[in-house]
Each structure stands twice: as structure tokens, then as C-alpha cells.
Amino acid sequence: MRDIRTHRAAQLILDRGLVSREALHEAYWVHVERPSMSLTDALLLFGYLTFDTLRAIRPELHSDWPLGKQLVKMRLLKLEQLEQALAIQERDGGSLASLLVMNGWCGREAIAQAIRKLERAEKRPLAWRLMARLAG
């Protein structure tokens, strides 16, 4: 189990001043004792975060969220698998695509197919948007 100082979501939430350090520690220890409960779920449970606040920071927590939604929509990934992958990403960081492949939930071709569909829908390359986010 990672320390709260290296927990990606914890640092983002603290940096944004969304909850107090004490509230974050309380929720973090619930997460440590029950790893199936994500830190953000514990914060929601205690009422320290609202769903609206969580929705607002989701793009920062999971910049590749549209990819996950597209994979589920195309039935190339189960919602439960996406939720597990997002919980891992929230805790450890990394790309969603890598986590999905590494855990055997989705193949590279399925991910490429979903990216192509997103690119057509947005009329510009997803890779370009991800790079622009990293640069900005």
C-alpha cells in the first residue's frame, strides 16, 4: 500500500484545497483498511467531497476517461473493469490503456479501435489532444 504522500488523487485533492488534511487522512485510512474502497469513495462516504466536485476533478484524475467510456460503449470492456482500472490509476497514476492491457482486460487492437472512433467523433487526433494537455 502506498503512502498518502505518493497517492496521486490525495495530492490533487490537497493541492486544490478541496478537503482538510485531517479529513483526507481519515478517508485514507479507511481506504487502507478496505482496499476495495477507493480514496475518493471514502471521501464521498464521509461527505468530505460531493459528486459534483469529484466530477469536476475527474479530467485531472483520469485524463483518458473518454477512452474508458468509449471502450465500455463499444462493449470491448466491462464497466466493472473500467472502474477497477480507474481506481488503480487514481492510486498509482499511469495510462489507462497500459493498465487495461497489463491486467488483461483489453487488448491493444481494441484500444486502437476505440481511439480511432474517438478521433473521428472529435475530428482531431486523440493523441494530439493528450499531448496538448501534457504540454499545457
Domain ranges of the chain: 4-59, 64-135
User: Exposed, middle or buried: residue 115 (CB in 10 Å: 0-12, 13-18, 19+)?
Assistant: buried
- For CA atoms 52, 132, 94, 78, give the dihedral sign: positive
Q: What is the pLDDT of residues 35-45, one digit of tens each?
A: 778 888 889 99
Q: What is the pLDDT of residues 66-123, one digit of tens each?
A: 889 899 999 999 999 998 888 888 777 778 898 999 999 999 999 989 988 887 877 6
The pTM of the whole model exceeds 0.75: no
